[in-house]
Chains A and B, each alone.
Chain A
Amino acid sequence: MFAYLAKRVIQAVAVMFVISLIAFAIQGNLGDPLRELVGQSVSEEVRQQLRDEMGLNDSFVTQYLRFAGNALQGDLGTSYFFKEPALDVILKKLPATLELVFGATLIIVGFSVPLGVYTAIKPDSILSRIIMGLSIIGISIPVFLTAILMIFVFSVEYGWFPSYGRGDTVHVWGYWETNFATADGWLHIILPSIALASIMLPLFVRLIRAEMMEVLQSEYVKYAKAKGINPWRIYFVHALKNTLLPVITVGGVQIGTMVAYTILTETVFQWPGMGFMFLEAVNRVDTPLIVAYLIVVGFIFVVTNTIVDLIYGLVNPTVNIARMGA
C-alpha cells in the first residue's frame, strides 16, 4: 500500500513539475509586465532598474527556480489587478467552481447509470432510441450554445430560473461560500450545472451502454443466468460492477476536464468562479493570475486522477493495492 502510494505521489510530483514549467514558460511570452505595472512617463533607466530588482533580467533557470521555490511555499505571485496574492484570489473563487462541478457531477452520475443500463438492456426499445438520439445531439452542441439556449428558454421565456450569478449564498466554515443552503442558491446553480453536464452526460450514457452491452455478452453473465439468478441481480451486481471499472477510469479524467469546461459555462452565466476569473485575467493580461490558475487546475487534475486510481484499486479485486508498487 505504502509503496503504491509513494509511487503515485512521485508520479504526481513529476507531472506538477512539467505543468509548472509550461505555465512559467507562458509567463515570459505574455508581454512585458512592466507595461502593466508602470505608467508611460517612467524613463527607460528606471525601467531597467525595476527589471533588475524584479529579477526579470536573470536567466530562465534562475527565474524558474525562484518561481518554483515561492510556489512550494504557497506563493504563486501577486495579481496585478487585485493587488493580492494570486492564490488567495483563486481560492476565493474555488468554492463557486467546485460547487458547479459538483452539481454537474451529481447530474451525470444520477442519470448516466440508469440511462446507460436501460439502453444496454433494451437496445431496441423506442425509449432507448430516443435516448441515444438525444445523446448525439447533446454531444454535438457546444456548451456555450446549450447554456445560451437554456437561458433563452428557461430564464427569458418562462422565467423559471435566474440567468446569471450565484444568488443567495451562505458562508460555511467561515470561508466556504455555498449555493446549497438556500432555495435561491439552488435555483441559481441548476441551469449552469445542466449546461456543464450537457456534454459529459451523453458521453457517459454512451460509454456505460457500450461497456454494459459487452459485459452482458460475457460468459460469466451467461453462467449467472444458468445458475437461475434473478435478472435484476445479474444486471446490477454481476454486470454493472464490471461495467463501472473502465467508466471510473474515464470518469476521473473527465472530472478534471470539467473544471476546464467551467470557463465557458461560468462566462455565459456570469458565475463568479475560477473559470470566469481566468477569462477576466486573460483580458487584463494579469499574468501571475493566469499562471496561478494553470497551476491550480493542473493540481486539481493530478489529485483527482490519483484518487481515481486508488478507487479503481478498491473496486477491482484484480488490482491489489496492498501488494502493488513493485
Chain B
Amino acid sequence: MSLLSVRDLTVKFAMRDQTVTALNGISFDLAKGERLGIVGESGAGKSITGFSLMNLLSRPGYIDTGKILFEGEDVVQMNDKRLRNLRGNRMAMIFQDPMVTLNPVLTIGQQMIETLMAHRKLSHEEARQIAIVKLREVYIPSPEERLEQYPHELSGGMRQRIIIAIALLLDPQLIIADEPTTALDVTIQADIMELMLELCQSNQVGLILITHDLGVVSQMTERTLVMYAGRIIEAGRTREIINDPQHPYTQGLINALPQQTVPGQRLKQIPGNMPGLASIPEGCAFNPRCKYATDLCRSRIPEIVHYGEVEVACHEVQRLNSDEDRQEARA
C-alpha cells in the first residue's frame, strides 16, 4: 500500500463574483520513503497541492471533491482533532520563507517544545532534550544556546535548518517542502537541499518537494509531477522526465534552462504566460503557447495517459515523437 494516495483532488476558490478551480482532478501516489518533486510555474497549483495534503487551505480556498488517503485514512474527511494529530506529527511541512515562518516573539526552544508536547506526553525537559538532539542532526552548533534565542537572532539558513529540525521532531512519514530554498542565498540553497536529502534517506521519510527548479528536482527526487494551470500534465520517473520530456510544456521548461543554451545566446523561453485561474482557455490549457496545437487541442482537454516510460496529458504526443518534430523540439 502506498503511503499517500491522492485521487481526483479538486480545489476551488470561492471569490466574490465567481468560483475558480485551482486544482482539477489531481491524482498521484507516493510510496513510503519515496521522494516526489512537483514542478511548474508560479500559479500552477503546486503550493495549493501541498497545503491541501494537510487540509490546511484557508478561505476562500476549499477542497471540492477527491480523496487524500494518507496511511489509509482520508485527510479530507478528518475532523479537527484527527487533523491536529496528523499535522506536524505524521506529516510535517517546511515553508518557503524561513524569515517569516517562525514566530518572532517566541524562542526557538518554545516553538520546538510546543510541537513535541502537542503530540506526545512528555515533560518539558524530555521535550527539550529531543529538540537538542534534532538540532544536532541538522548541524546547528551549540543547540542548547539556540533554544534560548529568538528567530531574529539567527540567519536565514540557520532558521531553515531549525524548521527542518522541527519537521523531523516527531519522526513523520512524510515531509512536504514548499520551495524550501527559494528565499535563501544560492550558496546556502545547496547545503539545505543536501541536508534534506541526507535526512530523508537516513530516516526513510517520504518527501514532496515543491519547486520551480528543475535542477533541484533532478538531484533530490525519484519521481516528478509537472503541473500546469491546476492539472498534472506529465508524471513519471525524474530521470525520464528530465532526459526525455514528452509534453511540449515540460520540453519548454527544460529547454529554458541556462545549461541548454550556448553562452551568449538568449535563453529559450516559452512564449506567453500561464493563464490566470479565471481565464483558462478551452481544451488543453497550454494550447495558446504551444506550437504543436491543433483544433483538437483547442477544444478538448487531453486525458493523462501512459506513453512510454511516463504519463502525459497531450493529444499530439504521438506526432511530437515522430522523428522530424522530435528534432525540432530538441533544437
Interface centre among B97, B106, B119 (most CB of A within 10 A): B106
B258 at the interface (CB under 8 A from A): no
B152: chain A residues at CB < 8 Å are: 317-318
Contact A318 B104, beta carbon cutoff 8 Å: yes
A218 at the interface (CB under 8 A from B): yes
- Nearest CB to that of B54 among chain A residues? A226
Contact A228 B100, beta carbon cutoff 8 Å: no
Q: A222-B56, A317-B104 are in contact. Are A229 and B150 (CB under 8 A)?
A: no
Q: A226-B88, A229-B115 are in contact. Are A219 and B56 (CB under 8 A)?
A: no
B150-166 to A contact mask, C-beta < 8 Å, 1/0: 10100000000000001
A173: chain B residues at CB < 8 Å are: none
A306-317 to B contact mask, C-beta < 8 Å, 1/0: 000000000111
Interface centre among A222, A227, A241, A315 (most CB of B within 10 A): A227
Chain B, interface size category, equals: 20 to 34
- One of A40-48, A164-172, A230-238, A254-262 at the interface: A230-238
16 residue pairs bridging A and B, Cβ less than 8 Å apart: A220-B103, A222-B56, A223-B95, A223-B101, A226-B93, A228-B85, A228-B86, A228-B87, A228-B88, A228-B89, A228-B118, A242-B103, A242-B104, A245-B105, A317-B107, A318-B150
Q: A228-B86, A228-B119 are in contact. Are A222 and B58 (CB under 8 A)?
A: yes
A206-250 to B contact mask, C-beta < 8 Å, 1/0: 000000000000111011111111100100011001100100000
Q: A219-B100, A222-B58 are in contact. Are A227 and B88 (CB under 8 A)?
A: yes
Contact A317 B150, beta carbon cutoff 8 Å: yes
Interface centre among B84, B89, B107 (most CB of A within 10 A): B84
Q: How many residues of A contact B (CB 8 A)?
A: 22
Q: A219-B95, A318-B152 are in contact. Are A230 and B103 (CB under 8 A)?
A: no
How many Å from the CB of B198 to the closest CB on chain A? Answer: 23
Contact B88 A229, beta carbon cutoff 8 Å: yes
Contact of B115 among A228, A315, A318 (CB under 8 A): A228
- Nearest CB to that of B119 among chain A residues? A228
Report the Cα distance A215→B150, complex, angstroms: 18
B114 at the interface (CB under 8 A from A): yes
Report the Cα distance A292→B92, complex, angstroms: 63
- Nearest CB to that of B150 among chain A residues? A317
A242: chain B residues at CB < 8 Å are: 103-105
B102 at the interface (CB under 8 A from A): yes
Contact A230 B118, beta carbon cutoff 8 Å: yes
Contact A225 B103, beta carbon cutoff 8 Å: no
A233: chain B residues at CB < 8 Å are: 114, 118
Contact B104 A220, beta carbon cutoff 8 Å: yes
Contact B103 A238, beta carbon cutoff 8 Å: yes
Report the Cα distance A245→B105, complex, angstroms: 10
Report the Cα distance A315→B106, complex, angstroms: 10
Contact A219 B101, beta carbon cutoff 8 Å: yes
- Nearest CB to that of B87 among chain A residues? A228
A112-158, CB < 8 A from B: none
Contact B106 A238, beta carbon cutoff 8 Å: yes
Report the Cα distance A219→B56, complex, angstroms: 12
Top 4 A-B pairs, shortest CB-CB distance: A227-B88, A228-B88, A228-B87, A317-B150
Interface centre among B56, B83, B86, B88 (most CB of A within 10 A): B88
Report the Cα distance A1→B97, complex, angstroms: 33
Contact A220 B115, beta carbon cutoff 8 Å: no
How many Å from the CB of A215 to the closest CB on chain B? Answer: 10
- Nearest CB to that of A230 among chain B residues? B118
Contact B105 A241, beta carbon cutoff 8 Å: yes
A225: chain B residues at CB < 8 Å are: 56, 87
Q: A225-B56, A228-B118, A229-B114 are in contact. Are A237 and B86 (CB under 8 A)?
A: no
- Nearest CB to that of A233 among chain B residues? B114
Contact A227 B166, beta carbon cutoff 8 Å: yes
Report the Cα distance A222→B106, complex, angstroms: 15
B83: chain A residues at CB < 8 Å are: 228
B106: chain A residues at CB < 8 Å are: 237-238, 241
Contact of B84 among A228, A316, A318 (CB under 8 A): A228
Interface centre among A223, A226, A229 (most CB of B within 10 A): A226
Report the Cα distance A282→B152, complex, angstroms: 52
B161-177 to A contact mask, C-beta < 8 Å, 1/0: 00000100000000000
B70-101 to A contact mask, C-beta < 8 Å, 1/0: 00000000000001111111001101010011
A222: chain B residues at CB < 8 Å are: 56, 58, 95
Q: A222-B58, A242-B105 are in contact. Are A227 and B100 (CB under 8 A)?
A: no
A227: chain B residues at CB < 8 Å are: 87-88, 92, 114-115, 118, 166
Interface centre among A229, A237, A238, A315 (most CB of B within 10 A): A229
- Nearest CB to that of A316 among chain B residues? B105
Report the Cα distance A238→B101, complex, angstroms: 12
A248-280 to B contact mask, C-beta < 8 Å, 1/0: 000000000000000000000000000000000
Report the Cα distance A316→B105, complex, angstroms: 6
New A-B contacts (11) at CB < 8 Å, excluding given A219-B101, A315-B105: A220-B101, A220-B103, A226-B88, A228-B87, A228-B118, A229-B84, A229-B88, A229-B115, A238-B103, A317-B150, A318-B104
A76-92, CB < 8 A from B: none
How many Å from the CB of B119 to the closest CB on chain A? Answer: 6
- Nearest CB to that of B100 among chain A residues? A219
Report the Cα distance A174→B114, complex, angstroms: 50
Report the Cα distance A227→B117, complex, angstroms: 11
How many Å from the CB of B172 to the closest CB on chain A? Answer: 10
How many Å from the CB of B154 to the closest CB on chain A? Answer: 12
Report the Cα distance A226→B54, complex, angstroms: 7
How many Å from the CB of A274 to the closest CB on chain B? Answer: 37
